[in-house]
């Protein structure tokens, strides 16, 4: 199964992706690929994992080799597989890959297209794949989500966050098709906020996460979410992930 965590910037996608990674790593016999699809690299920091080589580094290396005549077009796929293997960081039954930040001025179109290729190439070798997607709809527009089974939409309790989640759902349905999407509401103070959002959106609300000082402390201290103890937010995130079929 391939799950992408999407939503507006600042709503908590990376925290949810990190808790998902930690929960999956605890499952014996399950091979997990975790992809930091945000050029800002927040998921690596949340898990205290530093990528020595990123997906963008791989893209640049392979292109340079082809341009220099060191790699034929026939050998391109083999070169990409080899370079991707170099970029993956193994941590027990979990593998981590970072998209990286391209040096090119402008949008991330080229590296997003390469991300789609990488997911198609790598995901088949793992039982579960979790993608912490870039904020907004760029990666959906680039058809990165074409191989994704479920889009976990994340919003805080703001109307803007929910509207962005709805836009991502609508764009994903046009670009990819299918109905595999659900909304998780983050930083909830009381259940009345959840019921208000349920009444105002057509999205399937599959869970909500309470405000939790444990999450705030881990963020502030840059402590690895692999070490997050059982707490209300972690329990709520894991319950939402069960609703997606990931756990």
The sign one gets for the Cα dihedral 193, 196, 198, 202 is negative
Q: In this predicted model, what pLDDT tens digit does every residue of 53-67 receive, in sequence order?
A: 998 898 888 778 777
Q: Which of 38-52, 94-108, 166-180, 219-233 has the highest mean pLDDT?
A: 219-233
Q: How far apart are CA 208 and CA 240, in angstroms?
A: 8
Cα angle 119, 177, 134; round to 5 = 45
Please tell me the distance from the alpha carbon of residue 188 to that of residue 185, in angstroms, as a whole number. 7
pLDDT range class, residue 106, cuts 50, 70, 90: very low
Nearest of 235, 247, 173 to residue 204 by alpha carbon: 173
**What pLDDT is recorded for position 21?**
96
| pTM for this entry | 0.90
| Spatial separation of the C-alpha atoms in residues 51 and 45, rounded to whole Å | 10
pLDDT at position 4 is: 93
pLDDT of residue 235: 98
- Burial annotation 121-158 (CB, 10 A radius, 16+ → b, else e): ebbeebebbbbbbbbbbebbbbebbebbbbbbbbbbbe
Q: Over the stretch 213-230, which tens digit does the pLDDT of each residue have?
A: 999 999 999 999 999 999
Map out the domains of the chain as residue ranges.
Answer: 2-242
Domain 2-242: which CATH class? Answer: alpha beta
pLDDT at 105: 45
Per residue in 115-130, pLDDT (tens digit) is 777 888 888 999 999 9
Conformation bin of residue 202: beta by default, left when phi > 0, alpha when psi is -120 to 50: alpha
The DSSP bridge pattern shows strands 128-132 and 2-7 to be parallel
Quickly state the pLDDT bin for 107 (edges 50, 70, 90).
Answer: very low
Give the range among 55-64, 83-92, 123-132, 181-190 with minimum mean pLDDT. 55-64
> What average pLDDT does the segment 86-108 reach?
80
pLDDT at residue 174, as a whole number: 75
């Amino acid at each position: 199964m391939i799950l992408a965590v999407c939503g507006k910037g600042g709503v908590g996608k990376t925290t949810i992706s990190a808790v998902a990674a930690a929960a999956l790593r605890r499952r014996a016999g399950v091979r997990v690929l975790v992809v930091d699809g945000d050029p800002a690299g927040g998921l690596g920091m949340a898990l205290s994992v530093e990528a020595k080589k990123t997906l963008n580094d791989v893209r640049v290396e392979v292109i340079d080799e082809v341009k220099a005549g060191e790699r034929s077009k026939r050998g391109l796929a083999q070169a990409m597989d080899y370079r991707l293997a170099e970029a993956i960081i193994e941590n027990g039954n979990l593998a981590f890959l970072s998209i990286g930040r391209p040096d090119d001025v402008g949008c991330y179109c080229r590296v997003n297209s390469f991300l789609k290729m990488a997911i198609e190439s790598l995901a088949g070798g793992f039982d579960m794949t979790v993608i912490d997607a870039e904020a907004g709809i760029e990666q959906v527009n680039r058809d990165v989500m074409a191989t994704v089974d479920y889009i976990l939409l994340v919003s805080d309790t703001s109307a803007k966050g929910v509207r962005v989640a709805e836009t991502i759902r609508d764009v994903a349905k046009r670009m990819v098709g299918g109905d595999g999407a659900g909304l998780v509401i983050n930083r909830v103070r009381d259940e009345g906020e959840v019921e208000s959002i349920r009444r105002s959106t057509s999205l399937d609300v599959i869970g909500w996460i309470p405000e939790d000082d444990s999450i705030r402390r881990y963020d502030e201290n840059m402590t690895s979410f692999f070490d997050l103890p059982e707490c209300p937010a972690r329990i709520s995130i894991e319950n939402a992930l069960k609703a997606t079929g990931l756990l």
